[in-house]
Amino acid sequence: MNILVTGGAGFIGSAVCRHLVRDTEHSVVNLDKLTYAANLTSLNAIENSPRYRFVQGDILDRALVADLLREHEIDAIMHLAAESHVDRSIDGPGDFIQTNIVGTYELLEAARAYWSGLTGAKKEGFRFHHISTDEVYGDLPLDDSLFTEETPYAPSSPYSASKASSDHLAMAWHHTYHMPVVLSNCSNNYGPYHFPEKLIPLVILNGLEGKRLPVYGKGENVRDWLYVDDHARALALVATKGEPGRSYNIGGRNERSNLAVVETICDTLDRLSPLENGRSRRELIDFVSDRPGHDLRYAIDATRIETELGWRAEETFETGLEKTIAWYLENPEWWRPIREKRYSGERLGAAKAPAA
């Protein structure tokens, strides 16, 4: 298949592009605006592949998208381009409304015009895969309840509200225009190439440098953690084998409180790269004021994708985190320019904890 990936220079998008080029026979066109969290060096491993092309551009540019769809005879769109940082959405929601809602609308319309002109097997096999988050469901109590595909939407932040809106747009285009849309909602991702404003990479890098490790509130908020390469495999399955009009929840079945995540990172770093003074990095943990509307718990029931598409998460939280920390230790040339030029750990942690 010829697949258009939007936001393919971001954290999850780059993992999807690497997976498609390395592990499948599909061809990839990566459309990315290159905003602050995008990084083309995350794609160095595939940039010279004849089955990969990068295009800098905006999903709001309907004419550009239309040209790419026609030129590359696209068979599927995997839509990952989005503003995704909760704290940023609280401070400035406008970009989230514009990119996540209006941008999705423009992309859907470009796709609908293109799909409407297809015929035969090409039209039948086309897919628009909208990639979203479990945050659209709101939050859960500290019990054994789980988000399913039937859980009502109850977004809590401007970010999750914008993603909920885009989910509804995508499915409305399926129900109204019969466009073959599939939807997926994932739990918190982590892994290599993660921009260091998010919880796990920021704690790893602050911990390496012996800086404080800010944690919201008491660190009791719980997330289900999904290794990014496991997610990329799942997304490829949904895009190519998912049933139109159906949604798929993707989770790692790895629930951890934020405090437990930070403590595990501390202990792993102490083992792999001890501080010179011999201190435990747990001593660097600094509890800060909670953020507004902080959801208590997310947890995904991934039964549908496991039973219908045969996907399973391969990494436990412990194995995935070990791989992630080892990658950051071995690849300072990727993250150091970001820390030095754009977002130092002190700046990120000065008033707030990283999002999770």
> Which among 246, 101, 249 has a CA at the least distance from the CA of 161?
101
Please report the sign of the dihedral spanned by the C-alpha atoms of residue 290, residue 294, residue 297, residue 301: negative
- Angle separating helix axes 158-177 and 104-116, nearest 10 degrees: 20
Rounded to the nearest 5°, which phi and psi values hold at 274?
-60, 145
Extents of the domains making up the chain: 2-191+226-252+297-315
CA-CA distances (angstroms) from residue 231 to 13, 99, 186, 275, 297?
A: 10, 22, 8, 33, 20
Residue 349 predicted with pLDDT over 50: no
Q: Give pLDDT, residue 340.
A: 87
Q: Give pLDDT, residue 348.
A: 37
CA-CA distances (angstroms) from residue 349 to 82, 118, 242?
A: 23, 50, 40
d(CA 34, CA 22): 23
Which residues are bridge partners to 355 per DSSP?
198
Instruction: For the beta carbon of residue 304, count every other beta carbon within 10 angstroms.
Output: 16
> Which among 135, 146, 142, 119 has a CA at the least distance from the CA of 82?
135
Instruction: For the beta carbon of residue 298, count every other beta carbon within 10 angstroms.
Output: 24
- Structural contact between residues 128 and 105, judged by C-beta atoms closer than 8 angstroms: no
pLDDT in tens, 209-261: 999 999 999 999 999 999 999 999 999 999 999 999 999 999 999 999 999 99
Q: Give pLDDT, residue 354.
A: 61
- Structural contact between residues 78 and 146, judged by C-beta atoms closer than 8 angstroms: no
Instruction: For the beta carbon of residue 319, count every other beta carbon within 10 angstroms.
Output: 11
d(CA 207, CA 269): 7
Residues 162, 202, 355: CA angle, nearest 5 degrees: 25
- Structural contact between residues 200 and 260, judged by C-beta atoms closer than 8 angstroms: no
pLDDT in tens, 88-116: 999 999 999 999 999 999 999 999 999 99
Residue 48 predicted with pLDDT over 60: yes
- Structural contact between residues 184 and 134, judged by C-beta atoms closer than 8 angstroms: no
| CATH number listed for the domain at residues 2-191+226-252+297-315 | 3.40.50.720
Enter the tokens of residue 160.
């999750």
Q: Give pLDDT, residue 356.
A: 67
d(CA 91, CA 106): 25
Residues 266, 268, 269: CA angle, nearest 5 degrees: 65
Q: Give pLDDT, residue 45.
A: 97
CA-CA distances (angstroms) from residue 92 to 20, 83, 96, 227?
A: 34, 11, 8, 29
Residue 173 predicted with pLDDT over 60: yes
H/E element, 56: strand 52-56
Please indicate whether residue 353 or residue 150 has the higher confidence score (pLDDT).
Answer: 150
Residue 61 predicted with pLDDT over 70: yes
Residue with tokens 């919201």: 216
Identity of the amino acid at 331: N
Instruction: For the beta carbon of residue 253, count every other beta carbon within 10 angstroms.
Output: 18
What does the DSSP 8-state code read for residue 251?
-
CA-CA distances (angstroms) from residue 213 to 85, 207, 260?
A: 18, 7, 13
Rounded percentage of the chain residues whose pLDDT exceeds 70: 96
Q: Give pLDDT, residue 151.
A: 98
Rounded to the nearest 5°, which phi and psi values hold at 312?
-140, 140
pLDDT in tens, 275-292: 999 999 999 999 999 988
| DSSP structure string for 114-146 | HHHT--HHHHHH-EEEEEEEGGGG----SSS--
Q: Give pLDDT, residue 87.
A: 86
Q: Annotated catalytic sites, by residue?
A: 134-135, 159
Residue 343 predicted with pLDDT over 70: no
